[in-house]
Amino acid sequence: MQAHEKRENQLTDPISSNPKFNHAESRIAIAGHPVHAMLVSFPIALTTCAWGADIFYWATGDLFWARAALWASGMAFLMGLLAGLSGTVELLVVPGIRARAASWTHFIIAMTLLAVLGANWGYRLYGYEEMLLPYGLLLSSLSAAFAGFAGWHGGKLVFDYQVGTSSSGS
C-alpha cells in the first residue's frame, strides 16, 4: 500500500467521530414526542390557508376572503415564531443536532420563511382590502413555497438524518 493511501485510510471525519454525534434525541418533548413536530403543522396549514384565501379574494372580490387572509397570515407568522423557538432551542441544546450541517441548513430555510411570513402579515396591516395585487399575492405565494420547502427539509432531517428520533424504538 502506498504511503498516501495508508494516510487516507487513517483519516477520520471529525464530525461523525464526535462522541456526541449520535446524541440527536429530542429534548424539547412531551413524553418523548418532539414539541417542534407538533407545532410546525400550524404555520404550514395557516400559510396554505392565507394563500388559498388570496386566490378566492382574487376570484370573487368578496372582502370576507381578504379578512380571512389577514388572520391566517398573522396566525401563520405567530405560530411560526413558536415553532421556530422550539426548533432553535433543540438545535442549541442537543449536541448531535448541532453537529449536523443539515440542521443549520434547516435553520436558514426556516428563518427565511419567518421573514417572508412577517412581511406578508405586516403588509396587510396597512389596508388588507387593497393589498392583494401584486404584492399581497406575491408574498403569500412565496410564503407557501417556503413553508413547503421548510416542511420538506424538516422531514428530511428526521427521515434521512435521524434528527430528533428516539433510540429506544424497536
> Smaller CB distance to ligand HEM: residue 34 or 74?
34
SS3 of 138-168: HHHHHHHHHHHHHHHHHHHHHHCCCCECCCC
> Smaller CB distance to ligand HEM: residue 117 or 131?
117
> Smaller CB distance to ligand HEM: residue 68 or 147?
147
Can you read off the three cell numbers belonging to residue 50? 392565507
Give CA–CA dist 49/79, Å, rounded. 14
Closest contact distance (angstroms) between CB of 166 and ligand HEM is 11
Query: Interface residues with ligand HEM (CB under 6 A)?
Result: 26, 34, 36-37, 40, 43-44, 80, 83-84, 87-88, 90-91, 97, 103, 106-107, 110-111, 113, 147, 150-151, 154-155, 157-158, 163-164
Burial environment of residue 90 by CB neighbours within 10 A (0 to 12, 13 to 18, 19 or more): buried
The residue number whose beta carbon is nearest to ligand HEM equals 154
